[in-house]
Structure 1
Amino acid sequence: MDCVSKNLKGCTCTYTSCSRRGKCCECVAYHRSKGEIPGCFFTKEGEATWDRSIRNFIKDRGK
């Protein structure tokens, strides 16, 4: 099994048409360039908001 296939098994991103799904390095670099946190860092409820802001991450993980 290749790396992308392994990563997809644990990928919690709800944006299914994303070209970076399973490509964690690309995903992190993309979101970092936007001042965002990747969806896989959020809880399931936090990811469902599609708000990848640092403020929302702190709110989500501070529960």
Structure 2
Amino acid sequence: MSCVEKNIKGCTCTYTACLRRGKCCECVAYHRDKGEIPGCFFTKEGEAMWDRSVANFIKDRG
């Protein structure tokens, strides 16, 4: 099983059409450049809101 396949298996992000899905380094870099947090960092409920902002992450995890 490839690294990407292993990552996808554990990925909690619901945006399955993403080209970076399973490529964690690319995903983190993409969201960091946009001032966002990747979906997999949120709780299931927080991720479902699709609001990747730092403020929403703090509310979700706070």
Deviation >2 Å, runs of 4+: none
The equivalent residue for 1:31 is 31
The equivalent residue for 1:3 is 3
Q: Percent identity?
A: 85
Unaligned runs of 5+ in 2: none
User: Displacement of 1:28 after TM fit?
Assistant: 0.1
Q: TM-score, normalised by structure 2?
A: 0.98
- The RMSD of aligned alpha carbons is 0.3
Which residue identity does 1:13 align to in structure 2?
Answer: C
Q: TM-score, normalised by structure 1?
A: 0.97
Distance 2:52 2:10 in 1: 18
What does 1:1-63 align with in structure 2 at a 5 Å threshold?
A: 1-62=1-62
